[in-house]
Amino acid sequence: MSSVPDLFASNTSDSNSGKHCSPFPANVIPLDNGLTVIHQEITATPVVVVDVWIKAGARYEPNGWTGMAHFLEHMVFKGTEQILPGMFDAAIESRGGLTNAATSHDYAHFYMTVATADLADALPYLAELLLHAAIPADEFVRERHVVIEEIHQSWDDPDWIGFQTLSEMIYGDHPYGRSVLGSPEILQERSPEEMRQFHRTYYQPDNMQVVITGGVSLERVLELIQATFRTFAQRESCPSAGLLSPPRLMTNPSHTLSLPRLEHGRLLMAWLGPGIDNLEAACGLDVLATVLAEGRMSRLVRELREDRQWVDDIASSFSVQQDCSLFVLSAWLAPHHIKEVKQVICDRIASLATIPISTQELERAQRVLCNDYAFSMETPGQLAGLYGYYGTLAAPELSLAYPDYVRAYTAEQLLPLAKQYLSPHHCGTLALTPA
């Protein structure tokens, strides 16, 4: 865009059933080259967070390139023709700044926190790395050893093994079932040129959002972005990731893994949930997860840990993804209690579809979730992450819809949701026991 008029007043959303209509506090500016800038000025803070989100996660990897997206995250920091390895870290750290990155199935993102006065000096470094990563062959070989060691370390983590095995059981051939880290065998076969192709295919302006929050004005942000995120690498086309096969709806798959050096048993149970295109339903499942196993007053914590003392702990998780999500219950327990704990969980899950939860349970869950949401928006970094996450998966304005959806649910409205998604007959179960 050549100018910024009318961008401040039009940021509202009625997506996902139209319940959310509050003004969006950030500015969402699509530039002429396809890059999207999301900015929120916070005058009370002397720091700025830059968080660059790219649709370049593991789901976009071609067949046989598993782990490429995460490996590229490492290689981006190895420099360009203008920035030698280590120069970026030195430039940010010498100014007292912080920087890091992460890769998931749906995205990769790179972020830094610097003093407002240092933004103009620091931003060109980050933009140069992202747009013009050189991926030198010698650094590629060295860093591949680092990534493979990270994979080996993950194999020593029973919780990682459990979740990855469960994901493979539930998601089937969908990319969500693959490890973001990849495998040593596949990474050994990859080349620097293949990584350059992946980078030039996906690290393009129409695939990227630059989120900036903190003590800097919109005018200054646009000036800096247009000067630094200007010249992208020549676009290429790496092999296609192929059609995404839908996750297979399995009928009660159940597996047991015996692991060496495991001191305590685990029981993991998971159900497929909706993706970001049905955020309202996802929020309802979050309410049910909280009713079941969030805090001492939740049903399963109270019954299985406090009363029966069959588990040392039990917890729930539900994190929405682009295509589909996992509703997971995780218990830490002695192996001889696994069978009876599984039966109790199945019974309590089944009851959610037929017996409305109490008003007290519903209000507690809504209060917990809305407070957690409020706590997640306290800092510039949290806001940047929230806007970038929702902006990458759907639209940044949708980030404000969560508490409205949570508060709108009644106990009766949760019944069909539980019946649709949480059948005991469509659940993946994994037990981890000491070898």
User: pLDDT for 132-173, tens place per residue?
Assistant: 999 999 999 999 999 999 999 999 999 999 999 999 989 888
pLDDT tens-digit map of 251-287: 568 899 999 989 899 999 999 999 999 999 999 999 9
Q: Do the Cβ atoms of 147 and 71 come closer than 8 Å?
A: yes
Roughly how many angstroms between the first and final C-alpha of the chain, as a whole number?
Answer: 61
Share of the chain above pLDDT 70, in %: 92
- pLDDT at residue 99, as a whole number: 96
Distances, alpha carbon 37 to alpha carbons 51, 123, 218, 224, in Å: 10, 14, 10, 11
Q: Report the C-alpha gap between 288 and 191 in whole angstroms.
A: 46
Q: Do the Cβ atoms of 427 and 255 come closer than 8 Å?
A: no
Q: How many other CB atoms sit within 10 Å of the CB of residue 375? A: 10
- The three-class DSSP label of residue 167 is helix
Strands (E), 296-376: 311-319, 324-333
Spans of the chain, pLDDT less than 70: 1-21, 242-252
- The three-class DSSP label of residue 317 is strand
Q: How many other CB atoms sit within 10 Å of the CB of residue 320? A: 24
What's the farthest any 2 CA atoms get from each other in the chain?
67
Place of tokens 């046989």: 64
pTM for this model (two decimals): 0.92
Domains annotated for the chain, with CATH where assigned, are 27-228 (3.30.830.10), 254-434 (3.30.830.10)
DSSP state, 295?
S
| Burial of 260: CB neighbours in 10 Å, binned 0-12, 13-18, 19+ | exposed
DSSP state, 307?
I
- pLDDT at residue 402, as a whole number: 95
Q: Over the Cα atoms of the chain, what is R_g?
A: 23
Q: Do the Cβ atoms of 297 and 317 come closer than 8 Å?
A: no
